[in-house]
Amino acid sequence: MTESTATTRTSRPPLLRAMVPALAAAIALASWWWAPSGDAALMTDRALLGLIEDSDLYTVDVDPAPTVWEHYTIAQGDSLANLWTNQWQLPEAALYTLLNDPKSADILRQVSPGQHLEWRADGEGSLQALRLWTDPSKGWEWNLQNGQLHRSALTYERNLHQVAVRGEIRTSLSAALAEMPSLGGRAQAIAAEMGELLPLASKARKGDRFSLLVDLEYIDDAEGAYAARLAGFDYEGEQISVRAARFDDDRFYTPEGKSLLPGFRRTPFNSEYRVSSPFNLHRHHPITGRVTPHLGTDFAMPVGTRVLAPAKGVVRTVSYHPLAGRFVVIDHGQGYQTRYLHLQKAEVRPGQEVKQGDVIALSGNTGRSTGSHLHYELRLNGRPLNPMTASLPSRERLQPDELRRFQNQYAAYFDLHEQESATAVAGNGNRRDNAG
């Protein structure tokens, strides 16, 4: 494939190669100029310059998300290669790069159950950093610098703590958590996690009460926590009443074992449609020959085909972009998000709750498109996944043996509302904080 691509690129006339950047710039500027005035504002200077530089008339990140650290603890029977490509869907090229370094390969081949991995990938799925903790106080770290992954030893003193906090909403959950020093300065991160699990933006009310169980990591003698993860919560409110905790699969379940994450359909439609362009993080652009990732899957379908929600969620965005055309973004919770580009018409509005199978849009040919089709993206914590091969949430409940283990793990926590913990009220200067 590489040889074929190289031949194609060198066979282009020099004049045509020289004209490509100018043509791309002209088309981008024309799209920006003739877009409706309200939509033109969406074409940021950065996106326009990036388009001109890359001459990529097809791929555009319509809704950039900040990268986050993802976590995994190695379990018995795990294969790093299988986890890397099938479960985490990180680029194989990054793993090959690590294994080509003898020292890194030796470290990774000795990964064993109980060891903890952390990684961060950007909005195009490229690995930016990787940490392997061989024990709580030492490990290895790889960071991407100038296109290369550089290894260094982790020599921090890593301490793990679990705290339990309780509070009441006066203005917002963020404000309530900000009053709690026991969270080690990670209040906003915990509030964001809760926002992924519950529709707090629309349904939280003054007087709602909550309790949270939070895992904190501290490095050396640093004053603030290095990382924080929500382990469990009990939210009692006027419009929301939910108790749940994180299980081994990193997903949240109620005390009865019911999953908070909805089941996903593989595709957002009922009929069979041909894949006209697959998900490919290493796609060679047909014009420039450069590697320009295709972050979704394209399905060839007639204009006006009904697009269905693959899972329950809340509509985050309905808008227009000169490249993406009419598009819709849906949040499904716990970091899962789906995107739908080149639509003819949106059938939903921002903030609307949708159920699996609801009609959310009609497919089209809007924006910079070469034919009628649906461009469909699946993202987890901002990074793209292949929707055709990703391990999708499917089960609604824990199996009996899992449920017993889950309930034993959180038996004490689910009685937390009967115990004294930490109390803070947003806007109230009188508070008590107590790590549990």
Tokens representing 258 are 């019911």
Residue 417 has pLDDT above 60, yes or no: no
Unique residue bearing structure tokens 């603890």: 73
CATH 2.70.70.10-classified regions of the chain:
1-64+262-394
Read off the amino acid at residue 259: S
Q: Which residues contact 416 (CB under 8 A, 6 or more apart)?
A: 164, 166, 211, 213, 234
Helix, strand, coil content of the chain in percent (nearest 5): 25, 35, 40
pLDDT average, residue stretch 216-225:
82
pLDDT average, residue stretch 263-288:
83
pLDDT average, residue stretch 88-112:
89
Q: Which residues contact 217 (CB under 8 A, 6 or more apart)?
A: 158, 159, 160, 161, 225, 226, 227, 228
280: DSSP letter: B
pLDDT value of residue 287: 53
Q: 309 near 265, Cβ under 8 Å?
A: no
Residue 58 has pLDDT above 80, yes or no: no
Read off the amino acid at residue 290: R
pLDDT value of residue 243: 95
* CA–CA gap between residue 269 and residue 267 (Å, rounded): 6
Q: 360 near 354, Cβ under 8 Å?
A: yes
Kindly report, residue by residue over 67-95, the tens digit of the pLDDT.
Answer: 677 888 888 888 888 888 777 878 888 88
Q: Domain 1-64+262-394 class? A: mainly beta
Residue 163 has pLDDT above 90, yes or no: yes
Kindly report, residue by residue over 377-400, the tens digit of the pLDDT.
Answer: 999 888 888 999 888 887 789 999
Kindly report, residue by residue over 191-208, the tens digit of the pLDDT.
Answer: 988 988 888 888 899 999
**What is the pLDDT of the chain when averaged over all its residues?**
79
* CA–CA gap between residue 314 and residue 350 (Å, rounded): 8
Q: Between the CA atoms of 316, 322, 325 and 331, what dihedral angle is there, to the nearest 10 degrees?
A: -20
Domain covering 158-259+398-425: architecture: Roll (3.10)
Kindly report, residue by residue over 280-315, the tens digit of the pLDDT.
Answer: 877 766 555 676 778 899 999 999 999 999 999 999
pLDDT average, residue stretch 364-386:
90
Beta bridge partners of residue 243, listed in sequence order:
234
Tokens representing 154 are 């982790």
* CA–CA gap between residue 332 and residue 164 (Å, rounded): 27
* φ and ψ at residue 87, rounded to 5 degrees: -90, -50
Higher-pLDDT residue of 424 and 53 is: 424
Sort 385 into a burial class: Cβ within 10 Å, 0-12 / 13-18 / 19+. Answer: buried
Assign 97 to helix, strand or coil.
helix
Q: 164 near 212, Cβ under 8 Å?
A: yes
> Does the 70-154 domain belong in CATH 3.10.450.350?
yes
Q: How confident is the model at residue 265 (pLDDT cuts 50, 70, 90)?
A: very high
CATH 3.10.450.350-classified regions of the chain:
70-154, 158-259+398-425
Q: Chain centroid to CA 137: how far?
A: 28
Tokens representing 260 are 């908070």
- How many beta carbons lie within 10 A of that of residue 297, not counting itself? 22
pLDDT value of residue 73: 84
Read off the amino acid at residue 339: R
pLDDT value of residue 268: 96
Q: Between the CA atoms of 343, 349, 353 and 356, what dihedral angle is there, to the nearest 10 degrees?
A: -20
